[in-house]
Amino acid sequence: MERVTLADLNRRSVLFGTGALVLAFTLKPALAQTKSPGDETQNFQAVAQPAPELPGSLKTNPNLESWLRVEASGKATIFTGKAELGQGIKTALLQIAAEELKIPFERLSLVGPDTVLSPNEGYTAGSHSIQDSGTAIRHAAAQAREILLAEAGRRLSVPVEQLRAADGAITGPGGEKLGYGELVSDHLIEGRAQPTSKLTAPDQFVEMGKPRRRIDIPAKVTGGAAYIQDMRPDGMLHGRIVRPPSPGARLQAVDLSQAETMPGVVKVIRDGNFLAVIADKEWQAIKAMRALSAAAQWQETATLPDMADLPAVLMAMPADDGIVADKRGPVSAARSEEATFTRPYQIHGSIGPSCGLAQLVDGLTTVWTHTQGVYPDQKAIAQMLGVPIEKVRCIHVEGSGCYGHNGADDAGADAALLAQVVPGRPVRVQWMREQEHAWEPFSPGMVTKVRAGLDDKGNVVDWNYELWSNGHNSRPGTAGALLGAQHIAKAFPLDAQKLQITPEGNGDRNSNPLYAFPSRHVVWHFLADAPIRVSALRGLGAYMNVFSIENFMDDLASKAGADPVEYRLRHLDDQRARDVVERAARNFGWKAGQKAPEDHGFGFAFARYKNLAAYCAVAMEVKVEKETGRVRLIRATSAVDAGEVVNPDGVANQVQGGIIQAASWTLYEAATFDRTRITSVDWSTYPIMRFDALPQAVDVDIIPRPGTPFLGAGECGQGPGGAAVANAITNAIGRRIYDLPLTREKVRAAAQLRA
Amino acid sequence: MVALTVNGKTHQVDVDPDTPLLYVLRGELELNAAKYGCGLGQCGACTVLVDGEPVFSCVTPVLVLEGRKVTTVEGLGTLEAPGPLQQAFIEEQAAQCGYCIAGMMMRAQALLQRNAAATDEEIKAHMEPNLCRCGTHMRIMAAIKRAGKLMQTASAASTGRTG
Ligand code: FES
Ligand code: FES
């Protein structure tokens, strides 16, 4: 009788029932890692949280079967709602699953994001993938392993404590072995997860914390089908969009006939201000696009701000004030210093322009997209098409690196629109370079103003910081967030941006310094009107805020006659912050009072990303050719504390890349426009980092913190990386430049003023 | 019809003669490696070798390629038997998104087959036309140097064998 009961036992009763089988869950308290810091709601906008007590994304998807499935073959499938964006997330998530499930890495495969198959984890953004999805997968895998142990214990009639899970099998005390494939049955690993799990102790790790080669790289270096651009479903057609010449342009007239008669052309589409062609071959589509573009007459309006006067324009715009920090103490400042910093609009500039693929079959539109959020896109695209949400399926396929909200969602929506015109046929829409440069949502221009009250030793006793910026997130949302939906005749309006002050921050991200200033006031002058389409670029406001704070800290240090590293440490209580600062300085060979070689400069910067994710300090050496203003990076040394690290080489790769990318933003990048049109439309009008400016080395030293929560690391290098370049240039030329980017012309002028 | 030799195989392709090589490689021959990045000769994502020299396939009409030898990343080796550059890029984990990488490899191949012992400065100067947005440059440099060493070892070994 008892045997029968046990045979019927499903996992729900294993977890919630009473008796021996539950012991596995109650014997030991759960190890650390049940909670990651941060307000995860940002990435879960509009995602219901049925289980807020559960760790990571189990909050939104509490059932084990949402996360993994063990197959009878002994293999397992892991499901994630987070997208591979070139940050190596697939590999890291599988490492976590392999570790906790106790299964060889090679037996795992990963599915998702896909609105049919994978959990809804909102957006892949904000360095959250390991924190959200990794935490959920870790707990789900650990709980699945305990279920398998319990099932083996039952079959072998051995107490669970005498069993060992390893290599995808459970071994008993006498060496008897049951593979996971033998143990698993329908519904065994299902139902709601528990809030705590029996996690593997870090000193037992065989997979996590070990560098592992990324699973996506071999295909990428051998011509495998690795990207959405490489998809060629049967019957695929090629679409191209003709975008208006400027954001305010309206279509006056267009003659479709020439494009319609061109070879290979299947359809020419006009829908309001939305113009497109569909052709058999890609080059035919491009030629038809050009012909259609030439045949269109637009009425253009000047809607763009005055680029030459951008800071003043931003500061004069109506603003909602959000108080980020307000902690005023009694202050007796001996004197004060202030500075204003500006940043132009900048772009994501993916090397591969955005691409979307869609097919309408029996009323269901399937969209393959390199979006960061399949579920939000599903909703927005369904709204745009005027169909119920279940009539759209979005499947993530990797694209070129996006670094935030680029044209991915828009290209997916474009493809969905074109797919309606040729039912049954898959349509691939590839944006042109000029379209990506001009139409992707930019990262907003910003102004920051900082004033510090100082004591007689030059230490900060009072800190006032203001920033002027649009919101940095206009992701869908509603259909109005999609470019195509703004252009079609039945146009959808853009979602209004609202000021929100959250722990993670937006434009105000990292605007509140981690330094232990006794009195502080930080305010975001939130600009609701966006004269240029803007959205999330890697780090949101953190890059500019850290740039401003860390440049200013160097100014203050120099006024106090202090070494920049020592001056920072004076103001830092947080031990982990001190550790990365000291480690980066030591590895660099930083010495107080040292002088860089002729024409060289040393710079230092620090931040804890979002004040709650990874800590990062960067020391940088640059060389400046004073006659030309040309800057070369010589070497960069960084120290990072990302809590528990899953794939150290993956973190190193992300931080190295982040520092180089931030150096590029800092030295070269500004979107340009006249009052009507965007004028930075290719790589010659929007230059970025090239090989000649590269340093000899970018070192990343990861401070191990086993057993502590994961701290998102993918964006932690952006702020300190950029600020360290600026501080090094200042050190080399003896003058600071307050307006980004620090172009050759500005560096040359500043160096000459000094000389 | 245009006759095109790619990775040692000759193909007859039925396209407009003004079609850039990139679209023939991707669309007609279904080769994935060469990538569309700009179509303007500004980024190098589409770089392939023509008679051993790097060219931007996005601005090279297929018409001018009759009788010339085109090499793409697919011609450097396979998943099972990767060539030196492929092996080196895997060993150095020299990719983030990887979108720029095929173009990087082809430009590097042109240099290494001339001079497998190229210095850092020579590599940087040679790689100047190619853009990477992820900031993978340091690893790309390391992978090119590693590939150079692999090629030198291989050629030393084969010289040893034959000589
Ligand atoms: S795609 Fe050919 S150079 Fe950019
Ligand atoms: S690795 Fe992403 S563009 Fe180079």
Instruction: Give A703-739 pLDDT, tens digit per residue.
Output: 999 999 989 898 999 999 999 999 999 999 999 999 9
Give the whole-angstrom CA distance, residue A140 versus residue A45. 23
Q: Check pLDDT > 50 for residue A489.
A: yes
Give the whole-angstrom CA distance, residue A323 versus residue A316. 19
CA A572 to chain centre: 27
Query: Mean pLDDT across the stretch A53-76?
Result: 96
Q: Check pLDDT > 70 for residue A27.
A: no
Range in A113-127, A611-625, A650-664, B23-37 with the lowest mean pLDDT: A113-127
What are the tokens at B77?
């080796």
Sign of CA dihedral B97, A659, A547, A601: negative
Residue contact A689–B135, C-beta within 8 A: yes
Q: Does domain A228-301+353-438 have CATH number 3.30.365.10?
A: yes
Whether A676 contacts A306, CB under 8 Å: no
Query: How many H-runs (helices) and E-runs (strands) does chain A carry?
Result: 21, 24
Residue contact B124–A691, C-beta within 8 A: yes
Contacts of B161 (CB under 8 A, 6+ apart): none
B122 touches chain A (CB under 8 A): no
CATH numeric code, B84-159: 1.10.150.120
Ligand 1 — pocket residues by CB below 6 A?
B 36-39, 41-46, 56, 58
Residue contact A657–B134, C-beta within 8 A: yes
Q: Check pLDDT > 60 for residue B49.
A: yes
DSSP labels, A309-320: GHHHHHHHS-EE
Range in A115-129, A414-428, A495-509, A624-638 with the lowest mean pLDDT: A115-129
Q: Which ligand is nearest to the CA of B137?
A: 2
Helix axes A718-733, A648-668, angle to 10 degrees: 50
B86 touches chain A (CB under 8 A): yes
Q: Distance from the CA of B135 to the center of ligand 2, in angstroms?
A: 7
Q: Which helix (H) or strand (E) holds A367?
A: strand A364-369
Q: Which helix (H) or strand (E) holds A591?
A: none
Which segments of chain A belong to CATH 3.30.365.10? 11-219, 228-301+353-438, 548-755
Give the whole-angstrom CA distance, residue B34 versus residue B103. 6
Q: Which helix (H) or strand (E) holds A28?
A: none
Residue contact B73–A221, C-beta within 8 A: yes
* Shortest CA gap A230–chain B (Å): 6
Q: Check pLDDT > 90 for residue A38.
A: no
Find the largest Cα–Cα distance for chain B. 49
Residue contact B127–A85, C-beta within 8 A: no
Contacts of A693 (CB under 8 A, 6+ apart): A631, A632, A633, A663, A667
ipTM of predicted complex: 0.96
- The CATH class for the domain spanning B2-75 reads alpha beta
Q: Whose CA is nearest to atom 4 of ligand 2?
A: B132
Question: Which numbered atom of ligand 2 lies nearest the CA of B134?
Answer: 2
Pairs of CB atoms within 8 A across A/B: 184
Question: Which numbered atom of ligand 2 lies nearest the CA of B95?
Answer: 1
* Shortest CA gap B111–chain A (Å): 15
Closest by CA to A227, choosing from A101, A411, A5, A59, is A411
Edge to edge, the sheet with strand A520-527 lists A319-327, A520-527, A460-470, A446-454, A335-343
- The CATH class for the domain spanning A548-755 reads alpha beta
* Shortest CA gap A681–chain B (Å): 10
Residue contact B77–A222, C-beta within 8 A: yes
Virtual CA dihedral for A124, A125, A131, A134, nearest 10 degrees? 20
Whether A164 contacts A171, CB under 8 Å: yes
Q: Which helix (H) or strand (E) holds A604?
A: strand A600-608
pLDDT score for B157: 85
The pLDDT tens digits for A623-635 are 999 999 999 999 9
Residue contact A352–B89, C-beta within 8 A: no
Give the whole-angstrom CA distance, residue A364 versus residue A355. 20
Query: Mean pLDDT across the stretch A480-505?
Result: 95
- What letter does residue A131 receive in the DSSP assignment? I
Q: Determine the residue of B21, B56, B99, B128 to mutate for testing ligand 1's pocket, defined as the one with the most ligand atoms within 8 A of the Cβ atom.
A: B56
Whether A526 contacts A469, CB under 8 Å: yes
Q: Specify the 3-state DSSP secondary structure of A270.
A: strand
Ligand 2 — pocket residues by CB below 6 A?
A 86, 351, 401; B 95-101, 132-134, 136
Name the closest residue on chain A to residue B21, using Cα atoms. A283
| CA atoms within 13 A of residue A665's CA, in its CB half-sphere | 34
Q: Distance from the CA of B41 to the center of ligand 1, in angstroms?
A: 5
Q: Check pLDDT > 60 for residue A4.
A: no
The pLDDT tens digits for A287-320 are 999 999 999 999 999 999 999 999 999 999 999 9
DSSP labels, A393-432: EEEE---S--SBS-SHHHHHHHHHHHHHHSTTS-EEEE--
Enter the pTM of the model.
Answer: 0.93
Q: Check pLDDT > 50 for residue A42.
A: no
Q: Which residue has the tokens 């143990």?
A: A183
Query: Mean pLDDT across the stretch A387-394?
Result: 98
Q: Specify the 3-state DSSP secondary structure of B69.
A: strand
How far the first Cα of chain B sits from its last, in Å, is 45
Q: Check pLDDT > 50 for residue A3.
A: no
- The CATH class for the domain spanning A11-219 reads alpha beta
Q: Determine the residue of B25, B26, B38, B107 to mutate for testing ligand 1's pocket, defined as the one with the most ligand atoms within 8 A of the Cβ atom.
A: B38
pLDDT score for B25: 98
Q: Which ligand is nearest to the CA of B143?
A: 2
Burial of A566 (0-12, 13-18, 19+ CB in 10 A): middle
pLDDT score for A124: 85
What are the tokens at A7?
């045979």
The pLDDT tens digits for A678-699 are 999 999 999 999 999 999 999 9
Closest by CA to B104, choosing from B120, B116, B89, is B89
Question: Which numbered atom of ligand 2 lies nearest the CA of B135?
Answer: 4
Whether A732 contacts A754, CB under 8 Å: no
Closest by CA to A350, choosing from B43, B141, B139, is B43
Domain range summary for chain B, segments of one domain joined by +:
2-75, 84-159
pLDDT score for A126: 77
Q: Specify the 3-state DSSP secondary structure of B143.
A: helix
A chain contacts of residue B139, beta-carbon cutoff 8 Å: 653, 656
B59 touches chain A (CB under 8 A): no
